[in-house]
Amino acid sequence: MKALVAVKRVIDYNVKPRLKSDGSGVDLTNVKMSINPFDEIAVEEAIRLKEAGKVSEVVLVSIGSSKSEETIRTGLAMGADRGILVNTGDPAIEPLAVAKILKSIAESEQVGIVIVGKQAIDDDCNQTGQMLSALLDWPQGTFASVVDIQSADKVLVTREIDGGLQTLELDLPAVVTTDLRLNEPRFASLPNIMKAKKKPVSKVSLADLGLPENFIEPRLIVQKTEAPEVRQAGVKVADAAELIDKLRNEAGVL
């Protein structure tokens, strides 16, 4: 069966985001961009499934500007077979639109499994996989920490839930979203980066997919983007009790 993996070009996880002073969003000029870490895990999992003989081909999709091809190449350097770039220009695309586009491709490619990252580290929505799954009427295995394809029809997914792990058996085709513990993505060596240059990446537009241009228009209006409340630096606490109180009630982390 074919595996479809969606990859998104996002701010590199090492980079501290800087906000534009006019509140219009995060400043991405000249900022290092990389493959979304959860998507990298998704690519790795698909490749491992291929190495185990469960998947015949790993197809990558990225939706965004032409620069997203870089992200596809990263996945190809890890060992994916080919890529599809859906060029939607620069503006950010919401999960609902992404899910619709992915549905179109999943159907035309007739894939047996879709693996996506659980969330993108820029918008942190955590919706795309589930939305795609609903639109396709497929079962979903979210926050997967183990993916075990049992046969052409069944996959066992162990997922991270509040307070533990849950194992589900899903009918294939299904959508799986990856969590951090699923795997450790492999190192993309230079020879593989070179091989990746030759792997095919087809470039399609919404029209090519038979989708109307307007449906990628965002449903949510982002009115402003601001920094979180800045806590007073270096608050000195007198004792353990005060520390716990502040962590609970001021910082909200306990």
Partner 1 sequence: MSNDPLLQPYQLKHLTLKNRIVMTSHEPAYPEDGMPKGRYLAYHAERAKGGVAMTMTAGSAAVSKDSPPVFNNLLVYKDEVVPYLKNLTDAVHEHDTAIMIQLTHLGRRTRWDKGHWLPVVSASHEREAAHRAFPKKAEDWDIERIIKDYADAAERMKAGGMDGIELQAYGHLLDQFWSPLTNSLESPYGGSLSNRMQFTFDVLSAIRERVGPDFIVGMRYTGDEMLENGISPEEGFEISHRLKASGMVDFLNVIRGHIDTDAALTDVIPIQGMANNPHLDFAGEMKAATGMPVIHASKIPDVATARYAVASGKVDLVGMTRAHITDPHIVRKIIEKREEQIRPCVGANYCLDRIYQGGEALCIHNAATGREQTMPHTIAKADVSKKVVIVGAGPAGLEAARVAGERGHHVVVLEAANVPGGQVLLTSQSERRKEMMSIIDWRMAECERLGVTFKFNTWAEADEVNAEKPDVVIIATGGLPDTDVLAKGNEHVVSTWDIISGDVKPGKNVLVYDDAGDHAGLQAAEIIARSGAKVEIMTPDRSFAPEVMAMNLVPYMRSLQALDTTFTVTYRLQALEKDGSVLKAHIGSDYGGISRVKEFDQVIVNHGVIPLDEIYFDLKSNSSNHGEISHDQLIEGHPQSVVRNSEGTYQLFRIGDAVATRNTHAAIYDALRLVKDL
Partner 2 sequence: MKALLIADHDNNHLSEQTAKALSAASQLGAVDVLIMGHDCTEVASQAACLSGVGRVLLAEHEALKHQLAEPCAEAILSIASEYQAIVSAASTTGKGVLPRIAAKLDVMQISEVIEILDEKTFKRPTYAGNAIQTVQSNDSIKVLTIRTANFATTENAPTSAEVVALDITLGQQRSVHISDKVSDSERPELQSAKVIVSGGRALGSQENFNATILPVADKLGAAVGASRAAVDSGFAPNDWQVGQTGKIVSPDLYVACGISGAIQHLAGMKDSKVIVAINNDEDAPIFQIADYRLEADLFEALPEITRLLS
Helix (H, G, I), strand (E, B) or coil at 127: coil
Q: Are residues 59 and 2 in contact, defined by beta-carbon separation less than 8 angstroms? A: yes
Stretch that binds partner 2, among 40-48, 55-63, 178-186, 189-197 (CB under 8 A): 178-186
Residues 90-119 that bind partner 2 (CB under 8 A): 94-96, 99
Q: Closest approach of Cβ 141 to partner 1, in Å?
A: 26
Which amino acid would we find at residue 88?
T
**Gap between the Cα atoms of 119 and 98, Å rounded:** 12
Alpha-carbon gap, residue 71 to 63, rounded angstroms:
10
What single-letter amino acid sits at 191? P
**Smallest distance, partner 2 to C-beta of residue 103, A:** 9
What DSSP line would sit under 106-122, residue for residue? Answer: HHHHT-SEEEEES--TT
- How many whole angstroms separate alpha carbon 36 and alpha carbon 137? 26
d(CA 252, CA 223): 25
Binding string, 212-251, against partner 2, x = CB under 8 A?
------xxxxxxxxxxx--x-xxxxx-xxx-xx-xx---x
31 binds, among partner 1, partner 2, none (CB under 5 to 8 A by kind): none
> In whole angstroms, how close is the CB of 142 to partner 2 at the nearest point?
5
In the set 65, 123, 186, 209, which binds partner 2 (CB under 8 A)? 123
* 30 sits near partner 2 (criterion: CB under 8 A): no
The one of partner 2, partner 1, none whose footprint includes residue 133, by CB under 5 to 8 A per kind, is partner 2
Closer Cβ to partner 1, 82 or 246, answer by number: 82
Q: List own/partner pairs for 81-84 with CB under 8 A and 24 or more apart.
A: 81/57, 81/199, 82/57, 82/199, 82/200, 82/201, 82/202, 83/59, 83/199, 83/200, 83/201, 83/202, 84/59, 84/60, 84/201, 84/202, 84/203, 84/204
Q: Which position among 53, 191, 210, 234 is part of the footprint of partner 1 (CB under 8 A)? A: 191
Interface pick for partner 2 out of 180, 193, 204, 209 (rule CB under 8 A): 180
Q: Which partner, partner 1, partner 2, none, binds residue 74 by CB below 5 to 8 Å per kind?
A: partner 1
Give the interface size with partner 1 as a residue count (CB under 8 A).
17
Question: Which of the ranges 12-20, 47-55, 59-67, 78-86 carries the binding residues for partner 2, by CB under 8 A?
Answer: 12-20
Q: Which does 189 bind (CB under 5 to 8 A by kind): partner 2, partner 1, none?
A: partner 1
| Encoded tokens for 134 | 């609903």
The residue count for binding partner 2 (CB under 8 A) is 78
